[in-house]
Chains A and B, each alone.
Chain A
């Protein structure tokens, strides 16, 4: 009997890369830097190559567009991560351009609409112009802000030293308030000779209103008609945080919509470049502040890839348990808040908050804090869950939560008011969803069964038996139903994880506040409850990241907001925004 020949695993992205090189000889080269992967495409051929990647090679989901500033080499780079919705690893391709102003790169928005907001962000923070972009304005900072903040030679007002830890804290730790050592006594800086009395304030929103102007006046049936411009937010009961949408209305119908973001831009990435690797962990908690357990995991994945270390067995199971509990409480709250937006003011939300409080008690006992858990470390988790709390998790998962999810179902799913408000509203076709880089439950509600836990498994998700929840109509009702489905699938995973969890250490590394990360780049992504949460990190071997970028699902899922809202009523806009499930912490970073 002959032994069967060993099966060779084919890396589909390597195959795709080879085809790319063959099609564009001379313009596409492999990225040879140590620790890096992917293909470098020259700027002139980018649009053609992008069309080839999308049409011929089948990479229809453009997940992430990141800008990197290589100051010493004098180059700026734009990194693209593209995926096939049939599953598999990423095709990473990059463009490198010289760092002299004006820095220009062709835009890929004609091919993938989802690159829209991300390219605006790179223009805002790095100053790279994208030719062919339909509306290149600043997105996170306001128009008129001086400079492009993420560039390596741009220093903020409270800048102390390049990297932490600062020498001023120890050993010479005389306390001084940061305000007292800056020139202007506060976190502001102006160029020398600036005269605020002579400065004429230009309207930071001029460009925004100009882009909506084309809908302004019309003459319908001989009667001059005007469309009303309404600003919803940033202080608004239903915008889930400080988000602003400028809506052009024809009576009650939405004609056009432009989102305005950046009201919670907390400079996560700039601070991330100054922090050491471990110091970034509590900052990731504050991205999607409902699911800090998931955020920690994405970051640990990216850094553990670079470090090349294994994660302890028990820690893998603990990570899954915490992440799935986090997903359940997130979906509970989302449905509760969606009900708030629809007018069922607070009863379903209060029931949801009750379940959330019980889950948060578990997070508090395991990690020390209800919301900002800071639980993951590189190689595992920080500490084990005490025995009595494991019993409580058992009690919740096996006895309480299934009944509560069914109760929520009974309360809401067949409610006639609910159904008439949601059915058929805001339909997003599968092609539109994929093209606008939608990920997460919104994508699966439109019929594409893409779940990273199945398509590109991380951790130990390949050991669990669960279904990928999918719905096919793409309207609001399906977006609600899919969250209930996902909660039930999460319970399945939790039951299996609780039964299979082994004993053992919870971290494969020794506790240390100094982490050695070899040079290279990595992209770690997870299926967060809101979508695909990805972390792109570049290391030069130093104690701090060279580039640290968060691919935020809330930010990119909003690309399709205008598409779904046009021709709906303004009351439906509120519900549509609620169903996208945005969290401002990760939207604005």
Chain B
């Protein structure tokens, strides 16, 4: 970041001190620190993972953007690039990993499968997009997105971080988003704890269908 970007324009710094002093806002420093060193989680599920590794390899080096290392441990990383199809069997593990990540954390949904189910959307073991359970920041469509497309997506994430303000970020608020995502359970089918009342009501309705409309009309 050049001194010009870091400087707040409201203050006039005398000529002789311009290379020595910069006056900036807390938001800018906070964002600068975070956007320049986002460490992705080594979290490849399927084919998109290979393009993610190719983006980290020598041709499309991600380390140039500060995404130096890919850590498999969620405690040590900042962005979870969900690369590949999210299946119901794997979902409890994914949500648990997201909960274990330390704030500030971001989620990038890479590929068609993570964004909206992809070509496998109709499958009985496929979750139609990770945004049903986790808050997604950037969607990168493609099947698979080429490494250049993924790098573009990560640049968009950096731009989003630049616009954030400490007063409004999700993890310092009180509210439903700032607590842990409840972990789904694997029963006869996937059960999302946040939707249990809904499921109960719907299942009860299907068991005892209401009286047909002709009766009420007549």
Contacts and interface: CB of A to CB of B under 8 A. Distances in A.
A241 B49 contact: yes
Contacts of A191: 188, 203
A195 B200 contact: yes
Nearest to A267: B123
B124 A192 contact: no
A213 interface: no
A249 B174 CA distance: 44
Contacts of B87: 262-266
Contact of A190 (B45, B122, B124, B189): B189
Contact of B188 (A146, A149, A185, A197): A146
A585 B47 contact: yes
A487 to B, nearest CB: 19
A236 B93 CA distance: 12
B109 interface: no
A142 B202 CA distance: 24
Nearest to B129: A179
B178 interface: no
A275 B121 CA distance: 13
Nearest to A150: B124
Contacts of A370: 51, 146
A203 to B, nearest CB: 10
A145 B87 CA distance: 14
Interface string B60-88: 00000000000010000000000011010
B160 interface: no
Contact of B119 (A197, A270, A283): A283
Interface stretch (A22-30, A115-123, A151-159, A533-541): A151-159
Interface in A168-226: 178-179, 183-197, 199, 201, 204
Contacts, number: 175
Contacts of B89: 141-142, 262-263, 265
Interface in A427-476: none
B57 interface: yes
B189 A188 contact: yes
A187 B185 CA distance: 14
A15 interface: no
A354 B203 contact: no
Given A265-B89, A267-B120, A350-B58, A145 B46 contact: no
A235 interface: yes
Given A184-B202, A199-B187, A357-B59, A585 B93 contact: no
A94 B46 CA distance: 34
Interface in A220-277: 234-237, 241-242, 262-268, 270-271, 274
Nearest to B125: A265
Contact of B51 (A178, A274, A371): A371
Interface residues of B, number: 55
B213 interface: no
A456 B95 CA distance: 47
Contact of A192 (B84, B90, B195, B207): B207
A165 interface: no
B40 interface: no
B45 A241 contact: yes
B102 interface: no
Nearest to B84: A264
Interface in B183-208: 185-192, 195-196, 198-200, 202-204, 206-207
Task: Give the residue among A140, A146, A179, A235 with the most B Cβ atoms within 10 A.
Answer: A235
A374 to B, nearest CB: 11
Contacts of A502: none
A235 B93 contact: yes
B130 interface: no
Contacts of A234: 90, 93
A178 B129 CA distance: 12
Interface in B125-150: 125-128, 132, 143-144, 146
B132 A186 contact: yes
Contact of A241 (B44, B186, B200): B44
Nearest to B122: A158
A146 B187 CA distance: 8
Given A188-B190, A263-B45, A286-B47, 9 more contacts: A178-B128, A194-B203, A235-B93, A241-B45, A242-B90, A270-B123, A270-B124, A357-B57, A585-B46
15 contacts: A141-B89, A187-B117, A190-B189, A194-B199, A204-B186, A242-B45, A262-B87, A274-B122, A282-B119, A290-B50, A350-B58, A353-B53, A371-B47, A584-B45, A584-B46
